[in-house]
Amino acid sequence: MSTPKKKQQIRREWILLAIIAVISLGVGARAPLFLSWRNALDTANDSAILLILVLGQMAVLLTRGVDLSVAANLALTGMFCALAGKAWPGISVPVLLAIAVVAGALLGAFNGWLITRFDLPSIVVTLGTMSLYRGSIFVASRGTWVNDQDIHPLIKGLPRETLLGLPVLLWFAALVFVLTVWLLRWRREGRELYAYGGNPSAALYAGIPVKRRLMMAYTLSGALAGLGGLLWVGRYSIAFPELASGYELTVIAACVIGGISIGGGVGTASGALLGVLFIGVINSALPVIHVSPFWQQAIAGFVILVSVVVNARSQRQAGRQILEHGSGAKSRPANLQEVAA
């Protein structure tokens, strides 16, 4: 991203952090228990799976795409893991993790293949695969639920373990966050995602392997959804066809609130983290102050609309600046760094 975009993103993130702090302090003044370490830990633990999914969705949004199948992917891989644990009592945690990540990655790669092979809009493809994956859960489970007593003890125990006093769920989320930062900031592949999302024509002109980067983005989103599926089933000790139904909207909302542009090329992992934290704080705060669940949905929807409007205005302003600055430029970009900037 260029320096103006970086400054704008940093300013947005500080404002969002300030809003989260104000909400937390305001609710804490009314209910001091809200500011306790235990509540903060519970909020973070509840948001860990969401953060994992958001970081995967972020890679897709950076390319001007969207993955609406993420929740269905989570549910299908979660069912795979639950059925595998039920069929093979001696299965180990590494094998379960491999099943979840590989299955999710294959489902995500299928999205990417359809989009790149047939040049189809991502919203249409992932809407179709969302239904396909949901239907596959019925086929795999024969329409039955895998309840608590049938969930493998290792699956249930994994998200409940602690390491250095913190839940393992937080460590999973932290690991995914660090790897995402590394990919987007220090790897050429990550910079190419920004370059393509910022200006697809220029990215093609610069020789970026667009199809490979799109495949990478959707495969990454699928792999993280698969990991989230295993952790979700373990945390809530149940797997059924409608698991996490509609959760893809929460994932996209967290991205948008965190400043990840649906127009592509703009967003940071720290912004995604703040978007998840905002939703986590809102979900924890509204019940504390006895807000009706109906109002909770309305407030969340209002926040999303405001975030979309702010992002749209920012993108229009950025577009005008680019046109004004480069309207007379006719030379080919010297390298990838110029395109990514």
Domains by residue range for the chain, with CATH: 3-325+332-340 (1.10.3470)
pLDDT at position 187 is 94
Per-residue pLDDT 10s for the chain (341 aa) are 456 667 777 888 888 899 889 989 988 888 888 888 888 898 899 999 999 999 999 999 999 999 999 999 999 999 999 999 999 999 999 999 999 999 999 999 999 999 999 999 999 999 999 999 999 999 999 888 999 998 999 999 998 888 888 899 999 999 999 999 999 999 999 999 999 998 998 988 888 999 999 999 999 999 999 999 999 999 999 999 999 998 998 999 899 889 898 888 888 999 999 999 999 988 888 788 777 777 767 776 777 677 667 666 665 655 444 334 444 444 344 444 444 44
What does the block give as tokens for 147?
A: 């309840």
pLDDT at position 308 is 66
pLDDT at position 107 is 98
pLDDT at position 276 is 94
pLDDT at position 323 is 39
Ordered alpha helix ranges (H), the chain: 3-30, 37-61, 70-87, 93-118, 122-141, 153-157, 168-186, 188-198, 200-205, 210-236, 247-257, 269-288, 293-326, 336-340
What does the block give as tokens for 112?
A: 């990417």
